[in-house]
Amino acid sequence: MTPDITTKPSETVSYRGADDGGQPLWRKLVRWETALVFVLIAVLIFGSAKESGFLDGTNFFYISLNMGEIAIMALPLTLIVMTGEIDLSVASMLGLSGTVMGSLFHDGWSVWAAMAAALLVGAAGGALNGLLVAKMGLPSIAVTIGTLTLFRGLAEIVLAPRTITGFPISLTKIGVVPVQGTKIAWSALIFLVLAIIFGVVLHATALGRSIVAIGLQPEAARFSGVRVDRIKFGLYVVSGVFCALAGILFTLKNSSVSYDAGTGLELNVVAIVLLGGVSIFGGRGTVIGVVLAVVIVGCLQQALTQMGVQPEVQNIVTGSLLLVSVLVPNSGELVRRIRARRRRGPVPAA
């Protein structure tokens, strides 16, 4: 059970919600999420102007199909970034878990046992990140860049140049058939269910308040009894498991797997989390913002694809969104840090 995080007045940390320094949650929604709604409307208008069938249900099915796995990986990353950390190994874990599942299935394991093994690999990879970051205190950006390369290298060793196919048709149909009676892909439906769960955890539980506290003032949170290291470790394990789940869904969607599956998707995942209003400095963000960002990025990419825009140009657009999503929501914090640095003045020479 998460301990009571009430502290003495001199050590008070504001835990009133997953938002700016104690401001009510509705203030956060009015400021950033409302802007995202207007951006989404603009993207829909843009897409409709370029392609007459952009708002068709079939088109939205393909949008949800393309974004499902990315969106699933964005949810645990949201919580990690809110603690002031980062995980850049998400797409490599997607690839590694998919290769493990494919390799075991090829060697005669049942598909369900192979899926379970893939989830265990995800948990182990997340635990490695959590151990190095939370327990050993290493910088998360350096650790996860290292494990990004490590996981991708392991995937290449497992499969080498092979491509595994032949998965059961009853499972691979989730990549080509929407949920019955809807135009929503199965991976997108799983994301929506998980988004509700993550939203409740972040915004309505003691664990969520502890995550916000860690991002705002980690030392004060530690002194108040929040188990900072344990929570960070747990979040990395959760991230590994859900990235493995995304890897399983990605494999079934494509009816095949190769060691380079998901290469480069970490850029989209990080861009979505930051565009959703999650502060790169930690302590601020909402799940609804991330959900809106998923829809915006998915619709924008679909519009650009239908216009015949090359993937390289789409990467430029994604990178620009990443920069904007860092600068705009965090402009106040950036200004405060610059002013504080100026007030301290130059460091005197020894």
Whichever domain contains 118, its CATH number is 1.10.3470
Cβ-Cβ contacts under 8 Å for 279 (sequence gap 6 or more): 81, 82, 215, 285, 329, 330, 333
Find the largest Cα–Cα distance for the chain. Answer: 72
Angle, helices 265-275 vs 90-106, to 10°: value is: 140
Banded pLDDT at 331 (limits 50, 70, 90): low
User: For residue 113, is pLDDT > 90?
Assistant: yes
In a domain, 125, yes or no: yes
| Helix, strand, coil percentages for the chain (3-state, nearest 5) | 70, 0, 30
- Which amino acid belongs to residue 81? V
User: What domain range is 290 assigned to?
Assistant: 53-325
Residues 72-100: pLDDT tens digits?
A: 999 999 999 999 999 999 999 999 999 99
Q: Which two tokens stand for residue 101?
A: 């599942």
* Distance (Å, whole) CA 266 – CA 90: 6
Banded pLDDT at 165 (limits 50, 70, 90): confident
> Which has the minimum average pLDDT: 126-130, 194-198, 277-281?
277-281
pLDDT value of position 12? 41
In a domain, 339, yes or no: no
In a domain, 285, yes or no: yes
In a domain, 318, yes or no: yes
Q: Any idea what DSSP says for residue 10?
A: G
User: For residue 105, is pLDDT > 50?
Assistant: yes
Number of domains in the chain: 1
In a domain, 147, yes or no: yes
* Distance (Å, whole) CA 64 – CA 182: 12
* Distance (Å, whole) CA 99 – CA 76: 22
> Which has the minimum average pLDDT: 117-121, 201-205, 300-304?
300-304
* Distance (Å, whole) CA 334 – CA 71: 28
In a domain, 256, yes or no: yes
If one counts every other C-beta atom within 10 angstroms of the C-beta of residue 58, the result is 10
Residues 45-62: pLDDT tens digits?
A: 988 988 888 888 888 899
Question: Closest Cα to residue 325, out of 278, 268, 291?
Answer: 278
User: For residue 18, is pLDDT > 70?
Assistant: no
Place of tokens 């691979």: 172
In a domain, 34, yes or no: no
In a domain, 349, yes or no: no
Q: Do the Cβ atoms of 281 and 330 come closer than 8 Å? A: yes
- Which amino acid belongs to residue 10? S
